[in-house]
Structure 1
Amino acid sequence: MANEMMNRNNDFGMFDPFARMAERFWEPFNGDTEALKTDISETDDQYSVTVDVPGIDKKDVKLAYRDNVLSIKVQKDSFVDHSDQDQNVVMNERRFGSLQRSYMLPNVAADQIKATQTDGVLTITLPKSKQATDNKIEIQ
């Protein structure tokens, strides 16, 4: 009976429990996970952060800069179900919930941070503060 069940599961494209466990283990490394895909560049004057936020309204994006850390939180509460009354949904991959990431970006002039969102891309410009950041100590 157990072999019949395993064969039946394999006929429908299902993996055994150990294969599913291994697949979940490697999931964070394969790039297909839910995450805020981010590029960060740095010049002498500023940091530039670009984040993919497709399908997210800018009112659902929260930004904060505190203690040298930029925090980005995206909340997607709305979920439109396109099924009919008989629940004839074949596949559903759209998700809802929240995603959050934080980045250590020191020496930023917090009062000058600017953010824009266009065509599903969030761009944050963080100007660096002009105060001296090098603490050189001379040995006497």
Structure 2
Amino acid sequence: MANDLMTRNGFGMMDPFERMAQRLWAPFDDSEQVLKTDISETDDQYQVKVDIPGIDKQDVKLAYRDNLLSIKVQKHSFVDHSDKDQNVVMNERHEGTLQRDYMLPDVEADKIQASQTDGVLTITLPKSKDVTGDGKIEIN
């Protein structure tokens, strides 16, 4: 009976070897790609730091509306098809879009500042009781 329960996936139990295989292949799983983010808060502002290595600032779209900061990143991959001899051993570059939204209330949208340095996007969102602005954010 115990062995029957251990093999049922309906209970969320997996074979130990299956769990080990999932951990082994996890670094290669595209579903794990997210925008790694740190958010800090003071009485005056929120500060958001997002890792976006290798991304040009024109490929990042930021917006703030209805207490929601939206970050959308378009990643372009380099694909070299000029190697006719099939000498490429590995290619891990990907292309696609990553997007995350963060609920950050009471922000003065027209005073939000963003900059990108060394692959880190830093967004400073000043807090305010009177919320105004159109929601578009330029990256310096």
Identity %: 78
Match of 2:118 in 1: 119
Which residues of structure 1 form unaligned runs of 5+? 1-17, 132-140
Deviates more, 1:59-68 or 1:69-78: 69-78
Secondary structure of 1:111's counterpart equals helix
In terms of Rg, which structure is larger?
A: 1
Does the 8 Å CA contact 2:41/2:47 hold for their aligned counterparts? yes
Match of 2:11 in 1: none
Q: CA deviation at 1:78?
A: 4.2
Normalising by structure 2, report the TM-score. Answer: 0.69
Task: Give the residue type in structure 1 aligned to 2:91.
Answer: N
Q: CA deviation at 1:86?
A: 2.1
Task: Give the residue type in structure 2 aligned to 1:72.
Answer: I
Secondary structure of 1:117's counterpart equals strand
Does the 8 Å CA contact 2:77/2:94 hold for their aligned counterparts? no
Does the 8 Å CA contact 1:113/1:125 hold for their aligned counterparts? yes
Does the 8 Å CA contact 1:83/1:89 hold for their aligned counterparts? no
Structure 1: 4+ residue segments shifted above 6 A: none
RMSD: 2.8
> 2 CA distance for matches of 1:73 and 1:101?
7
Give yes or no for the alignment of 1:73 onto 2:96: no
Secondary structure of 1:59's counterpart equals helix
Task: Give the residue type in structure 1 aligned to 2:50.
Answer: V
> 1 CA distance for matches of 2:54 and 2:65?
27
How many corresponding residue pairs?
110
Residues 18-52 of structure 1, C-alpha deviation per residue, up to 9 Å, x if partnerless? 949x728x959xxx921100000000000000000
> 2 CA distance for matches of 1:105 and 1:23?
34
Which residues of structure 2 form unaligned runs of 5+? 1-16, 131-140
